[in-house]
Amino acid sequence: QKEVEQNSGPLSVPEGAIASLNCTYSDRGSQSFFWYRQYSGKSPELIMFIYSNGDKEDGRFTAQLNKASQYVSLLIRDSQPSDSATYLCAVNMFGRWDGGYQKVTFGIGTKLQVIP
Amino acid sequence: NAGVMQNPRHLVRRRGQEARLRCSPMKGHSHVYWYRQLPEEGLKFMVYLQKENIIDESGMPKERFSAEFPKEGPSILRIQQVVRGDSAAYFCASSPPIGGGRNEQFFGPGTRLTVL
């Protein structure tokens, strides 16, 4: 089982729709969860982080965390063509702790295509 | 506040040459991570360093690759005797001193290495 799993996509949604990106993780003790956006040929950009169960909203983005189900998602409302990118889920794996080091593991990323 | 800086942005080497990639973390950040990304693939963790210490090099190939983060100056990822399979984007990320389970990493623009 992969430590952080994402569907590689592509996920295609029409402009204006809600895009839902999902991620599951294997380490039940994980504490911190991050979403990065990566445009083609560019570096990953941190767009959301969440630490507590529930929802966290920032503009058109909502991160949802369910630790019991080991599931984290990212919702993008009113999707725009400029949202077309690969979205990387990253998880701070609690189990790997050594003198202050908690390893962050990245999923493979989901490619999102917003169709005008 | 300058972000993570990497240079060079593009590097071309012939097989058998050495490649040196540099990374300067964000101000106030003492943790540096190196990742490799092949075209259309996910981020692969290589190494995690703090000043003068390698904390986790579990993702580094056993031969030809080395990394350092000296007390003064940037972190260096060194690839000796490069082969065509080393062609990839190499990203550096930095994070502040870890505390409270958070480990937000901020990425530099990357170095695109091409081996002829």
Whether pLDDT at A95 is above 50? no
Whether pLDDT at B47 is above 90? yes
Range B7-11 average pLDDT:
97
- For B18-27, how does the pLDDT look when each residue is reduced to its tens digit (9 = 90+)? 999 999 999 9
pLDDT of residue A100: 55
Whether pLDDT at B33 is above 80? yes
Find the residue in A nearest to B4 (Cα). A43
- For A11-68, how does the pLDDT look when each residue is reduced to its tens digit (9 = 90+)? 999 999 999 999 999 988 888 899 999 999 999 999 999 989 999 999 999 999 999 9
Q: Does A109 touch chain B (CB under 8 A)?
A: yes
Q: Beta B5-7 vs B19-24: how paired, if at all?
A: antiparallel
Whether pLDDT at A87 is above 60? yes
B41–A45 CB contact, under 8 Å: no
pLDDT of residue B41: 81
What average pLDDT does the structure give for chain B? 91
Contact indicator for A36, A48 with CB cutoff of 8 Å: no
Burial class (CB within 10 angstroms; exposed 0-12, middle 13-18, buried 19+) of A65: buried
pLDDT of residue A97: 47
Find the residue in B nearest to A30 (Cα). B101
- For B63-104, how does the pLDDT look when each residue is reduced to its tens digit (9 = 90+)? 999 999 999 999 999 999 999 999 999 999 998 876 555 678
A105–B108 CB contact, under 8 Å: no
Pairwise CA distance, residues B23 & B47, whole Å: 13
Q: How is B80-100 classified by DSSP, letter by letter?
A: -S--GGG-EEEEEEEEPSPBT
Pairwise CA distance, residues B84 & B48, whole Å: 24
Whether pLDDT at A103 is above 80? no
Whether pLDDT at A90 is above 50? yes
pLDDT of residue A1: 66
- Judging contacts by C-beta atoms under 8 Å, the chain A residues touching residue B48 are 101, 103
pLDDT of residue B98: 65
Distance from CA of A48 to the nearest CA of B (A): 10
Whether pLDDT at A99 is above 90? no
